[in-house]
Amino acid sequence: MTFSARGPLMRFALALLLFGVPLAVAAPVPKAVKAKLPDYYPLTDGAIWEYEMGAVTLVVKATEVTEKDGVRTAKLVREHDGKEVSSEGIHVDKDGVFRTHVNGTEIKPPVLLLKFGLADEESWEVKSGVDGGKVAGKFTLAGASKVTVPAGEYDAVLVRGDCSIAGTKYNTRWWIAEGVGIVKLEHNVGGTPSVPLELKKYTPGKAK
């Protein structure tokens, strides 16, 4: 399968690499986010998220998960038709969830995907770069929202991302459910809406 820069899978890969990560929050949804790693990042070696994006199925696998002194790191590998199409590095500490690498390339500074300690409708600024591309904008914790996807109905938290990547505007919304992570992702690239990404199945990995 060929991936063009304007194809739906490529647009999703860009948005997911820079915006979407498997996160989860405790229920009922709190007014202020609490920094509890297992709640916000249900990540264990071998965890698998299966997503549908129209006719496309994308599988995300957690590998190389480590945790030391309250800091968790991992590599997420994305596959389509059994072949790896992208990967990212993730770092979780007391301040929040960060994306540190894209396809092995370091993001400088890491993108802060979720800032701990915020209340609904609070935002945080994003300013970073990867492989010559500049990322700038803000993310907003938008509050509680129910969402239905192929995997079922979830009580989720909605997060909005409004950014520019290498001069192109990206507007993103993702829904995050307790103990599961991202259950739905939508994004608009340069004024063109995407096919929504929706969770089909989540399989937890093995905790160490």
pLDDT in tens, 60-119: 999 999 988 888 889 999 999 999 999 999 888 888 888 899 999 999 999 888 787 788
Residue among 195, 162, 156, 179 at smallest CA distance from 52: 195
Contact yes or no for 167/174 (Cβ under 8 A):
no
Give the pLDDT confidence score for residue 36 in this predicted structure. Answer: 44
Contact yes or no for 73/53 (Cβ under 8 A):
no
pLDDT bin (cut points 50, 70, 90) of residue 156 is confident
Give the pLDDT confidence score for residue 129 in this predicted structure. Answer: 86
Residue among 139, 140, 143 at smallest CA distance from 163: 139
User: What integer best gives the mean pLDDT of the chain?
Assistant: 79
Q: Which CATH class is domain 8-203?
A: mainly beta
Element housing 88 (H / E): strand 83-93
pTM to 2 decimal places: 0.77
pLDDT over 80 (residue 47): yes
pLDDT bin (cut points 50, 70, 90) of residue 22 is very low
pLDDT over 90 (residue 6): no
Per-domain boundaries in the chain: 8-203
Give the pLDDT confidence score for residue 1 in this predicted structure. Answer: 33
Tokens standing for residue 72 = 């968790």
Distance CA 74, CA 113 (A): 15
- Alpha-carbon distances of 183 from 57, 103, 191, 198, 205, rounded to whole Å: 14, 23, 23, 6, 17
CA angle 16, 43, 145 (to 5 degrees): 60
Give the pLDDT confidence score for residue 35 in this predicted structure. Answer: 37
Between 113 and 169, residue with greater pLDDT: 169
